[in-house]
């Protein structure tokens, strides 16, 4: 994988944190060609309001550790939607109901989707055939000559 840009490196850190905290349906959209306010959207689903809070806290921790400037955090109690904005990336955390209701993936349908498994290094390389790379024992040599009885 080629070197990551700074915004994409932050996206990767956020995705790692979200995956570790069991966020569901993790998706990344590159909207840099469609938007003048941000480059990437990170979308994730939490199972409940406490889970959304835990996801937000983890995202804040990794962004703070990376010395990324958090422009703002929008969350209302029991709203089912939290946004963490670093200008270059926006992390949207939803409950299942609000993810379906707001459908940001549809709103940004012209965006380029970034493969989260590739970003996290979870894509395995194609496996070589089983015989490739294995040492095959040479056939046993038989003695030629009169057999003993």
Torsion sign (Cα): 68, 74, 75, 79? negative
Q: Helices marked H in 66-123 — which ranges?
A: 96-102, 104-107, 116-119
State the pTM of this model.
Answer: 0.78
User: What are the domain boundaries of the chain?
Assistant: 6-117
Query: Quick one: pLDDT band at residue 19, thresholds 50, 70, 90?
Result: very high
Range list of β-strands (E), 4-103? 24-30, 40-46, 72-75, 81-85, 89-95
Q: Under DSSP, is residue 108 helix (H, G, I), strand (E, B) or coil? A: coil
Instruction: Give the pLDDT confidence of 97-107 residue by residue, as tens digits.
Output: 999 999 999 99
Assigned CATH topology for domain 6-117: Beta Polymerase; domain 2 (3.30.460)
pLDDT in tens, 50-91: 999 999 999 999 999 999 999 999 987 778 999 999 999 999
């Amino acid at each position: 994988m080629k070197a990551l840009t700074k915004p994409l490196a932050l996206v990767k850190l956020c995705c790692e944190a979200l995956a570790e905290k069991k966020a569901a349906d993790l998706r990344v959209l590159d909207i840099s060609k469609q938007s003048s306010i941000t480059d990437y959207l990170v979308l994730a689903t939490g199972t409940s309001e406490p889970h959304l809070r835990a996801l937000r806290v983890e995202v804040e921790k990794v962004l703070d550790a990376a010395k990324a400037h958090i422009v703002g955090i929008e969350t209302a109690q029991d709203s089912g939607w939290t946004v963490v904005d670093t200008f270059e990336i926006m992390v949207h955390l939803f409950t299942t109901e609000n993810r379906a209701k707001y459908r940001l993936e549809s709103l940004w349908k012209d965006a380029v989707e970034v493969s989260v498994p590739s970003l996290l290094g979870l894509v395995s390389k194609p496996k070589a055939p089983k015989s490739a790379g294995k040492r095959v024992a040479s056939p046993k040599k038989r003695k030629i000559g009169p057999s003993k009885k």
